Amino acid sequence: MPATVVVGTQWGDEGKGKLTDLLAKDVRLVVRYQGGHNAGHTIVVDGETFALQLVPSGVLYSHTTPVIGNGVVVDPAVLLEECEMLERRGIDTSRLVVSGNAHLIMPYHYEIDRMTERFLGHNKLGTTKRGIGPAYADKASRIGLRAQDLLDPKIFREKLDVVLREKNALLSRVYNRLPLDAGEIADLYLGELAPRVAPMLGDAVALVHEALDTGEQVMLEGAQATFLDLDHGTYPFVTSSNPTAGGACVGTGIGPRDISRVVGIVKAYTTRVGSGPFPTELHGEMADILVERGHEYGTNTGRRRRTGWLDLVMIRQAVRLNSISELAITKLDVLSAFDRIKVCMAYEADGRRFDHMPYHQSVLHKVEPIYEELPGWRSDLTDATSADELPAAARAYLELVSSEAGVPVSFASVGPGRQQYVSFAA
Ligand code: IMP
């Protein structure tokens, strides 16, 4: 059976974790295909909140095998901590499989992430400082260490010694930092972490194909989102991997014909963390309402998110870039706070109208949103379980999104709980 991809359509934090968890009900494998512990997925089950960074959301179901694909960058210490946290809370993590080809985040990646940001000054990207960009840079430079290297101390040490010579020269001569000690890093990674990570390592490609060949359902879970994509996002204010659906193929080892369904997750308004253009951004009281009602603070970093109205130019572009087949709208309940709700239908810059994203960054920086204003519904949606329990104005909002995006809306989430959603699926 072909795979389903779950992808964020904005700048992340759309609620992919909840939707993946919801869709994982019938799924055998849930595979994370890119990113690292820069991600934060929050899932509420029976009133208990689980904040996941690396382990795929499917871990919360006992019938699902969670897989960390080759496209992910893994800090093994963070992975083990997260597994321990889940075990303490009664979640079995013994089924987790980590691709041996996933690259490792090393101590020097954190240092370089912090230093690069510092040197960029007011041009900084606002990264999560988790070493993500430097780890992917080493992968592309072919000097990265992979999870499988943890199984071979001699090779691990040889690679580490070579790479650390260059990293230490950079850290000490350019950034004026103390060099790192290869022995200490090897003791930590090989001595402490490798014995505990080793049982998780496996051939994720084989696992995914066995599941597909035997007709099992496979879900590919993206982290971050379309406009943080290294190629298609608002570069340079992006992450260093490809969250778009194409990245799901590369990051798990399947081809496009193995995917039949692409679910785009759309927050009912827009948020962004870190720097970069944001045409519909709000400030002042409206922004505060969205932040407070939507709890718009980073799951891991605690940073306050920037907030704004829904931008349909972005959603149209996301549908194109990911070949999205359906949308799931999240946090619809948060918009109950407003009498009138604005939606960005197009942009305007230098007297020209843009229905699609302008490709040039300088244009994107100066566009003005063209809004349509819709009536709000001002009523509590959090107990709605079917479309007819939603107020007409909320249904009209969803219909507008669907007709502008050109694909159906199949779910609307109306609260953080696992059961708090309305399904429009046939
Ligand atoms: P990095 O991924 O840590 O390199 O950060 C690059 C950019 O992506 C920054 O603007 C981050 O705030 C943003 N970013 C990374 N991960 C997430 C996420 O999971 N949600 C939202 N923004 C993210």
- Residue range 243-255: mean pLDDT, rounded: 98
* 367 CB neighbour count, 10 Å cutoff: 22
- Residue range 56-82: mean pLDDT, rounded: 95
* Pairwise CA distance, residues 368 & 50, whole Å: 38
- Residue range 107-121: mean pLDDT, rounded: 97
Active site residue 356: no
At residue 345, what are phi and psi to the nearest 5 degrees?
Answer: -95, -30
Q: What pLDDT, on the 0 to 100 scale, is given for residue 361?
A: 92
Reported as a single tens digit per residue, the pLDDT across 397-413 is: 999 999 999 999 999 99
DSSP 230-298: TTTSSTTSS-SS--SHHHHHHHHT--GGGEEEEEEEEESSEEE-SSS--TTB--HHHHHHHHHHTT-B-
Residue 284, Ramachandran bin (φ over 0: left; ψ between -120 and 50: alpha; else beta): left
Spacing, Cα 55 to ligand 1 middle (Å): 17
Confidence of residue 55 (pLDDT cuts 50, 70, 90): very high
At residue 222, what are phi and psi to the nearest 5 degrees?
Answer: -85, 155
* Spatial contact of 137 and 230, defined as CB atoms under 8 Å apart: no
Spacing, Cα 78 to ligand 1 middle (Å): 17
Q: What pLDDT, on the 0 to 100 scale, is given for residue 397?
A: 98
Spacing, Cα 127 to ligand 1 middle (Å): 6
Candidate of 13, 16, 224 to mutate for ligand 1, largest count of ligand atoms within 8 Å of Cβ? 224
Spacing, Cα 86 to ligand 1 middle (Å): 24
Given 37, 41, 103, 109, which residue is catalytic?
A: 41
Q: What pLDDT, on the 0 to 100 scale, is given for residue 280?
A: 98
Confidence of residue 426 (pLDDT cuts 50, 70, 90): low
Choose between 100 and 20: higher pLDDT.
100
- Residue range 225-252: mean pLDDT, rounded: 98
**pLDDT over 80 at 340, yes or no:** yes
Q: What pLDDT, on the 0 to 100 scale, is given for residue 58?
A: 86
Which letter, b or e, does each residue of 173-206 get, where b requires 16 or more Cβ atoms within 10 Å of its Cβ?
A: eeeebeebebeebbeebbeebbeebeebbbbbbe
The answer to whether the CB of 135 is under 6 A from ligand 1 is no
Residue of 306, 290, 224, 225 lying closest to 53 (CA atoms):
224
Helices 153-169 and 107-120, interaxial angle, to 10°? 20
Active site residue 283: no
The answer to whether the CB of 132 is under 6 A from ligand 1 is yes
Choose between 197 and 49: higher pLDDT.
197
Spacing, Cα 9 to ligand 1 middle (Å): 14
**pLDDT over 90 at 43, yes or no:** no
* Pairwise CA distance, residues 264 & 407, whole Å: 10
Reported as a single tens digit per residue, the pLDDT across 307-317 is: 999 999 999 99
Candidate of 128, 267, 272 to mutate for ligand 1, largest count of ligand atoms within 8 Å of Cβ? 128
What is the average pLDDT value for the chain, to the nearest integer? 95
Q: Which distant-in-sequence residues (6+ apart) come within 8 Å of 1 by Cβ?
A: 212, 215, 216, 217, 218, 260
Spacing, Cα 132 to ligand 1 middle (Å): 9
Q: What pLDDT, on the 0 to 100 scale, is given for residue 300?
A: 75
Reported as a single tens digit per residue, the pLDDT across 342-385 is: 999 999 999 999 999 999 999 999 999 999 999 999 999 999 99
Percent of the chain with pLDDT over 90: 89
Candidate of 273, 278, 297 to mutate for ligand 1, largest count of ligand atoms within 8 Å of Cβ? 273
Amino acid at 380: D
Residue with the smallest CA separation from ligand 1 atom 5 is 127
**pLDDT over 80 at 118, yes or no:** yes
Q: What pLDDT, on the 0 to 100 scale, is given for residue 262?
A: 98
**pLDDT over 90 at 82, yes or no:** yes
Q: What pLDDT, on the 0 to 100 scale, is given for residue 128?
A: 93
- Name residue, tokens 């706070």: 337
Residue with the smallest CA separation from ligand 1 atom 16 is 38
Reported as a single tens digit per residue, the pLDDT across 133-179 is: 999 999 999 999 999 999 999 999 999 999 999 999 999 999 999 99
The answer to whether the CB of 225 is under 6 A from ligand 1 is no
Residue with the smallest CA separation from ligand 1 atom 20 is 12
* Pairwise CA distance, residues 38 & 202, whole Å: 23
Residue with the smallest CA separation from ligand 1 atom 15 is 38
**pLDDT over 80 at 215, yes or no:** yes
